[in-house]
Structure 1
Amino acid sequence: MTRTAHTSPGLCVLVVEDEPSTREELAVLLGGIPEIADVVSAESGEAAVRLLGTPAFDAVFLDISMPGLDGMDLARVLSRLSAPPAIVFVTASESHAIEAFGIGAVDYLLKPVRPERLSESVTRVLRQRGGAATDEAPHDDLDVVQIEHSRHTVFVRRADVQFAEAHGDYVRLHTADGTHLIRLSLSYLEEVWAPVGFVRAHRGYLVAAGWVHDLRVTSSSGLVACTPAGDVPVSRRHSRGLRERLMDAARSGELGRAAQ
C-alpha cells in the first residue's frame, strides 16, 4: 500500500491496480487534482478489501483484469457497504462497460488515461456525492447536448434522443437522424434525464418513454422496447419498472407523443 496525502480537505480515493507503473501513474495524476485530498494505492483486490474502512473512501478507481479478486468482484463487495464509495473502472478493454454501469459505476475509463478525462471522472464523483457544482459542458439537465468533433460541433436536442446506449468510455445517443457519441456515463445521463421520461431498460440502455410505441418479445433478443430509431433490449431486472413507467406515460398522454 502507498499513500499520497494533501493538507487541504477533499476526496479520499483508493487506486486498485496490479501493474506497478500504471498504479503509480494513476495515483500521481489523481494526486494532482485539487479536489483530491488523499490517494491510497493497493496492488490487488484482496489488498483493497483489507483497507476498507481505514479510512472511509469516497471513490475507488480500479482495474478489472487482476489476478484473484478482480475489479468486478471487488465492485460488488464495495456496493454492499453501508456507505459505498463511488466506483470508477480504469481498464484496457471496453468489453465490460455495460456490466460496469449495471453495477452502478460512476464512470468507465479506458487506458491510457488522459488527465483531462480523469478530471471529468472526479467531477462526476463530486456530483454524485453532492460535493460540488461544475461548469463542465454539458449543462445542468442537458436539454441540448454539445458534441465536439475535430472540425465541427453537433448540437443534439434531448427531445430528439429516442434511446441511449453505453459504449465503452462513451454513450451513444440514438435519434431519427442517426447516432452520436458523447463522453458521459450512462448512470449520469439516467440521473439527469430520468425526470423527463428516460427509463433504464437494460443495464446498458436508457429509453425515452415518449418514443416507445410497442413492447415486443422477439426470438433473438427477448423482450424489446420498440422505437422509430430501433429496438431496445429490456432485461428481466428492469422490465417491471419500464412497464410501470410506460403505463404512467399512457395515462398522462405522453406515450407515443414524441413520435407524432
Structure 2
Amino acid sequence: MTETNPAPTALRVLAVDDVPAALDDLCHLLRESPEVTEVVAAADPLTALKRLQDDRFDAVFLDIAMPGLDGLELAALLNKLATPPVIVFVTAYDEHAVAAFGIGAVDYLLKPVRAERLADALARVSRMVPGEHPAPPRQSTPDALAALPVESAGRTRYVQRQDVRFVEAHGDYVRLHTRSGVHLVRMPISRLEEYWADAGFVRTHRGFLVALSAVRELRSDSVGGLLAHTDLGDVPVSRRHARNLREQLLRAAQRGELHAEGTTP
C-alpha cells in the first residue's frame, strides 16, 4: 500500500502593519506562499481586532512598533480569545525577541523578510494549526486599550480608561485628565477617539474627548459657548459637536449611565 503525504495546511492569515509599503510587501510574500490560501491586511491594531471579531484566522503576522497599541500588547490581547491565532512577529528591531517568545509567538522575523525565513515561519504555523477548519462562533473582541501605558522617568505604568474624565490633544500626544493627575501619552487624539468611541468617549471639540459618564452638566460660558462640566474641570464643546453630545448624553441618561447628580442636556 502506497503511503501518501498529507496535503499542506491551507492557512488564512491576517497581516498587521501601520506602514503601507511594509504591509504591501508582507501581504505579497504571504500570497506567494503555497501554504496560504487567503491574506487579509489590517493597517492598525484596532482594525485587526475588528477583523478577528468577525472572522477566524489561523495566524497573525504582526509588526511591533505601532502607535497606540503596539504589537506585543495586541498579541497579549489575542491570547485572550477563545481560539487564539498563531502569532508571528515581523519587525525591524531584534531587541523584542525575548518578550515576543514570552507571549507565545512561534517565530520572529526581521525586516526585510526573506522568502526562505517566511517559509520556515509558515511551516511552524502549519504544525500548530489543525487540519480541519470548522467555522467557530463569533468571538468577543478583547477590550482595546482599556489601559494606556504611560512612560515617565524610565518607568512604565498604566492609566485605566475608566479613570479618565476627559482627553486633551497636545500635538502628537494626548493629555489624560484623571483624579491622580494629568498623564501624557504619545497618540493622536483622532486615533484614541477610534479606540474609545465604544467605551463612552465623545468628541466635543477638535482638541477634546470627554467620558459621557463624567459629565455632570452642560453650562454656558461668558461668551455664550457651551461647556461640559466634569469634576476635574470644564471641557469646551464646539457648535459642530454640540448636538451629538446632547443626544449621546440623553441616551446615556436613559440607560442610567450618568452621575447621580444628573446631567442637563
TM-score with structure 2 length normalisation?
0.48
Select the structure of larger CA radius of gyration.
2
TM-score with structure 1 length normalisation?
0.49
